[in-house]
Amino acid sequence: MQLSRRALLRSGAIVAGLSLAPRVALAQSDRIESLIGRMTLAEKAGQLSCFSDLLRAPGIVFNPGAASGNTAEQLANLRAGKFGMLFNGTGVAGARTMQRMALEETRLGIPLIFAADVIHGLRTIFPIPLAEAGSFDPDLAERTARGAALESTATGIHWTFAPMVDVARDQRWGRVAEGSGEDTCLGQAMAAARVRGFQGTDLRDPTRMLACPKHFAAYGAVAAGMDYNSVDISMEMLREVHLPPFQSSFAAGALTTMSAFNDINGVPSTANRWLLTDLLRGEWAFKGLVVSDWTADEELIAHGYAADGRDAAKKAFLAGVDMSMSSNLYNLHLPALVEAGEVPVAAVDASVRRVLQLKDSIGLFDNPYRSMNAKAERTQIASPALRKLSREAGAKSIVLLRNDGALLPLKASPGRIALIGPFGDDRDNVAGAWAFMADKTIGVDLATGIRAKLANPKMLDVVKGSDVEAALPGGIDAAVAAARAADVVLLAIGETQAMSGEAQSRVAIVIPPAQQALVEAVAATGKPLIILLRHGRALALSGAVKDAPAIVATWFLGSEMGNAVADVLFGTVNPSAKLPVSFPRESGQEPYYYNHKTTGRPASGTPNEEYKARYRETTNEALYPFGHGLSYTSFALSALQMPATVPASGTLTVSATLTNSGKVSGTEVVQLYIHDRVASRTRPVRELKRFERVTLAPGATKQVRFDLTTADLQFWADDKWISEPGAFDIWIGTSSVGGLQGSVALTA
Ligand code: NOJ
């Protein structure tokens, strides 16, 4: 993976139209240099170490095998200067106590920085990032990130381990839920928006927190979607698909990143000098801090890449990991490694400088108690404004997959409704996998949200029918009876929040069999069925679930889930979200993504087509493609315009007219895709390059215009970004399938 210096220079720093402007630099300061000059090696190793907060622990243990020690030991370690950062604790009082100890009871009085996994909200939970990506609304993502920062900083957090920007093309991988889905362009826009939302423009603002795009790198490409698995990847795939969201995050001002668990082509990310130093600090000129993922340095031993803890610490550090998370390896070994001449002290100083600069960048040396305000903690958490934002974000993240016969929206008096399934009145699975610090008391279940919409709330019957993964005695009989008595049936089925997220890969991305049986029995009543899917990934739907006339992707929408779903069901909000991940026909199609290569034998989609790139049992089309999502109104695109040719130095303007051809106001996500017809590398069948949400009143029209540059037409070949003269297909559409098609020739 070594690149020549010339190749690095030639490569430029442009990805998908995004120029890598010099990012917010960490300030130099005499104060920091003087501190470094006075620090012992042990104190330096301490600043480069971080641990989960035991004093203010959220009450659940992560990675139980690795969590060690007790509160008394941690406080003793604090006094001894054994860490520079603690994470995943909340609470102003505890933060102030520990900060006072750091200032007054350690030799040098260096303030602590507090971090946490605030992925989609702290107490008020917003939709899982995957769902929110479906809004195709970076402004919304910026606002929810801002909301998460408001709550987090009110409880003493300075730094979030987010956004998660891993592109995920295999839906078996449980961590799909945490990111923006399968597409790089969408992922870039969401990543940058979230960084802006967390950080704002003034890092010293006590209501803003530092971002940490993760997991660097290619964690989303783990083989077969199994979490923590190996990554074997071409440089083309790495550069074009997996790295751009990191570049967008840094361009938006992110000053930290987290090294991933996985190896890349045989070298673990956490010991990968090419990745963490040559690329990140060299080619990209990143000036910020690299923190390892949880014990990822120690895991170099299990990878078979390091012999023991000492070797692991040395390899991770020399590769470019500034701060070690949870393993304690830097405390244990860095001083001795320096004394033995195996690690240069200048490198240790450079890492310590980054940690201190990061603290300085948010003002901790001048205002060590920033974001530790007891009044803010009382007033800023779960405020009505944040809950309103959560409801808005929830409704904007719901994808209407199918709506035959305009079954939706429901009328205010739709007759008797049976709400059947394990998620009907369940409040434990509204938040999603990364919400362990959520305020569970404010979570709104579906039944509550729906009742609030009904003229007569007694017209709703709620029947569980089945557990998530096991049948309930008499469950199906009760459900069928309720369905028979109903005019319309809502089926709230899918995955628990524990079925996605870290370490939750699935071999088959199906509705669990017990629930499938429930749906089959209810469908046999012949009543109109509306499926409300609960899920942290795309699912392979089958049988009566797949055939239901209305299907709604509702993910995990956070604190206001029930209200947000009800808003869409009753048409208070017209659905506008689009799928950020393709729904395949079968689990076995995974990894499945819209922007695949054509192959030499592309299938046409006709069933049973022999000797084509497809499986025996199914066509290879998506059941619901990336970018798909319906509205209660209809939209028409017309008048596609683009020039016949564009010079390499020029701007390519493509436009089309969008008309709301239906009867209600609505929002469409207009999407622009390209395809390079003939190139020196095989190219994806389509690649998303631009999108825009457009809201139109019935009958209204808007010309939607996109400007592209050559950077949008580039790909990675022979260690550099290139674009080649020739024809490009261009589509403007409302999903990754279909749309208005034209072509343009890029001239030399
Ligand atoms: C492990 C996860 O991979 C990472 O995303 C998270 O930030 C750390 N644990 C810290 O909790």
Would you say 39 and 81 are in contact if contact means Cβ atoms under 8 Å apart? no
Which of 230, 246, 316, 341 is CA-nearest to residue 288? 246
From CA 62, how far away is CA 653, in angstroms rounded? 50
* Ligand 1 atom closest to the CA of 215, numbered from 1: 5
Distance, in Å, from the CA atom of 277 to the CA atom of 197, rounded to the nearest integer, reads 27
Tell me the C-alpha distance between 738 and 4, whole Å: 42
63, 176, 290, 294: residue to mutate for ligand 1 pocket, most atoms within 8 A of CB:
294
Return the amino acid letter for 451.
Answer: R
Strand order of the β-sheet with 550-553 is 399-403, 550-553, 529-534, 488-494, 417-420, 460-463
Confidence label for 412 from pLDDT (cuts 50, 70 and 90): confident
Parallel, antiparallel or unpaired: strands 715-717 and 324-325: unpaired
* pLDDT tens string 257-280: 999 999 999 999 999 999 999 999
- Using a 10 angstrom Cβ sphere, with 0-12 exposed, 13-18 middle and 19 or more buried, the burial of residue 143 is middle
Distance 179 CA to ligand 1 centre (A): 13
3-class state of residue 529 by DSSP: strand
Q: Of the residues 85, 293, 436, 504, which should be mutated to test ligand 1's pocket, given the most ligand atoms within 8 Å of the CB? A: 293
Q: What residue owns the CA closest to ligand 1's atom 1?
A: 294
Q: What percentage of the chain exceeds 90 in pLDDT?
A: 93
State how far Cα 115 lies from the chain centre.
18
235: which residues sit within 8 A by CB, 6+ positions away?
1, 716, 719
Choose among 78, 136, 135: nearest CA to 108.
Answer: 78
pLDDT(702) > 50? yes
Q: What is the largest CA-CA distance in the chain?
A: 79
- CB proximity list for 584: less than 8 A, separation 6 or greater: 171, 509, 538, 540, 590, 592, 622, 623
Q: What are the tokens at 12?
A: 């430029």
Tokens of residue 116, six digits: 């946490």
Minimum CA distance residue for ligand 1 atom 11: 117
Distance CA(470)–CA(472), nearest Å, equals 7
Nearest atom within ligand 1 for CA of residue 178 = 5
> What are the residue ranges of helices labelled H in 39-85?
41-47, 71-79
Q: Which of 56-70, 121-135, 179-193, 360-374 has the lowest mean pLDDT?
A: 56-70
Contact 668, 631 (CB under 8 A): yes
Six token digits for residue 299: 């895991």
Angle between helix 345-361 and helix 30-38 axes, rounded to 10 deg: 140
- Can you give the pLDDT at residue 15? 38
When pLDDT is cut at 50, 70 and 90, the band that residue 369 belongs to is very high
Decide if pLDDT at 165 tops 50.
Answer: yes
Q: How many CB atoms lie within 10 A of CB 337?
A: 22
Helix (H, G, I), strand (E, B) or coil at 730: strand
Q: Which residues, in sequence order, are CB contacts of 441 under 8 Å at separation 6+? A: none
Catalytic residues: 293
CA of 242 to the centre of ligand 1 (A): 19
**Residue 147 Cα, ligand 1 centroid: separation in angstroms?**
21
3-state secondary structure of 240: helix
Q: Are 731 and 688 in contact (CB under 8 A)?
A: no
All domains of the chain, ordered by start, with CATH?
Answer: 5-378 (3.20.20.300), 395-589 (3.40.50.1700), 635-747 (2.60.40.10)
pLDDT higher at 11 or 361: 361
Q: Where are the alpha helices (DSSP H) in 242-339?
A: 244-251, 273, 299-302, 309-319, 329-339
Q: Which atom of ligand 1 is nearest to the CA of 212?
A: 7
Which is nearest to 412 in space by CA: 571, 532, 549?
A: 571
Assess contact for 119 and 141: CB atoms under 8 A.
no
**Is pLDDT above 50 for 89?**
yes
Within 320-399, where are the H helices?
Answer: 329-339, 345-361, 374-379, 384-397
**Residue 494, C-beta contacts closer than 8 angstroms, at least 6 positions apart:** 423, 511, 515, 533, 534, 535, 539
pLDDT of residue 58: 78
Radius of gyration of the chain (CA): 26
The reported pLDDT for the residue numbered 70 is 86
User: CA distances (Å), 56 to each of 43, 60, 116, 702, in order?
Assistant: 24, 11, 12, 53
pTM (predicted TM-score): 0.96
Strands 550-553 and 529-534: parallel
Q: Which atom of ligand 1 has the smallest separation from the CA of 325?
A: 10
Cα(574)–Cα(449) distance, integer angstroms? 16
Beta-bridge partner residues of 231? 264
What are the phi and psi torsion angles at 597 (to 5°)? -80, 165
What separation in Å is there between the alpha carbon of 293 and the centre of ligand 1? 6
Residue 17 reports pLDDT greater than 60:
no
Structure tokens at 672: 């622009």
Distance 325 CA to ligand 1 centre (A): 9
Distance 404 CA to ligand 1 centre (A): 42
**For residues 714 and 644, what is the distance between their CA atoms, to the nearest angstrom?**
19
Question: What pLDDT score does 59 carry?
Answer: 67
Q: Mutation test of ligand 1: which of 502, 504, 505 has the most ligand atoms closer than 8 Å to its C-beta?
A: 502
**225, 505 Cβ separation under 8 angstroms:** yes
Residue 25: the pLDDT is: 56
Residue 531, phi then psi, degrees to nearest 5: -90, 125
Task: Find, among 119, 175, 205, the residue nearest to 435 by Cα.
Answer: 119
pLDDT at 22: 36
Helix (H) or strand (E) holding 152: helix 138-153
Query: Taking 90 as the threshold, does the pLDDT of residue 319 lie above it?
Result: yes
Residue pLDDT, tens place only, 530-585: 999 999 999 999 999 999 999 999 999 999 999 999 999 999 999 999 999 999 99
Alpha helices, DSSP H, located in 200-284: 235-237, 244-251, 273
Residue nearest to atom 7 of ligand 1 (CA): 161
Q: Residue with the nearest Cα to atom 10 of ligand 1? A: 294
DSSP 77-88: HHHTT--SEEES
Q: In the prediction, which pLDDT does 134 show?
A: 99
Closest residue by Cα to residue 367 from 212, 161, 158 = 158
Q: Whose CA is nearest to atom 9 of ligand 1?
A: 294
Please give the number of the atom of ligand 1 that sits closest to the Cα of 214.
Answer: 5
Q: Which residue has the tokens 């305020």?
A: 439
Residues with CB under 6 A from ligand 1: 62, 88, 117, 161, 214, 293-294, 502
For residue 107, give both structure tokens.
């030799």
